[in-house]
Amino acid sequence: MGRKQKPAFCGRITRFMNTNTQPLLEWRAPARINHEKSDRWYLVSGIICAIFVVYGILTGAWTMSITFGMIAGLYFYVRNLDHPLHYIRIFEGGIEFDGLYYIWPDFKHFWIPASVGMTAGAGSSIFGIS
C-alpha cells in the first residue's frame, strides 16, 4: 500500500473563522510605499534612457533601443498603477491578512516594519510564513 498523500490544502488557512473573537489590532495599508521623485529625477532618467535608445538606433543595436524604450514605458505604466490596500487584523490566535487567517504556530518569524504604510519587508514572503 502506498503512503497516504497529504492534501494540498491542510485547513490551517481558512477564509472563515470564529466571529466571536474580537481583533486586538486592525488596519489597512497599501502593498508598497509610493516614493515621490522630483521633476529633475524624471528629466535626468528620461535623458539617459533617450541617449541609450538613440545610441542603439545609430549603432544598429535595435534590441537595445527596444529594451530601453520598453523599460521607460513600463516604468511609467507601473508608476501610475494604484497600490491595493491590504486589510490586516491581529487576533490572540493568529493573523488575518486580506481574509485569510494564519495561526501563530505557522510562523517562523514576524515583524511589522517601522515605515508608515508598509505591509511586508522588501523581498520577503507575507509575514515570514514559510
Instruction: Let me know if residue 9 belongs to a domain.
Output: no
Same domain, 88 and 74: no
Amino acid at 107: F
pTM of the model: 0.49
In tens digits, the chain (130 residues) has pLDDT values of: 444 444 344 445 444 455 557 888 888 888 777 778 889 998 999 999 999 999 999 999 999 999 999 999 998 888 888 878 889 898 888 888 888 888 888 888 766 666 655 555 444 444 444 4
How crowded is residue 99: how many other Cβ atoms within 10 Å of its Cβ?
11
Q: Which helix (H) or strand (E) covers residue 62, if one does? A: helix 62-79
Domain boundaries, position 57: 39-79
* Per-residue cell: 23: 481583533
Identify whether 19 is part of a domain: no
Domain count, the chain: 2
Q: What is the DSSP letter of 20?
A: T
Q: How many CB atoms lie within 10 A of CB 130?
A: 7
Residue at 111 is within a domain: yes
Domain annotation covers residue 75: yes
Task: Tell me whether residue 3 is in a domain.
Answer: no
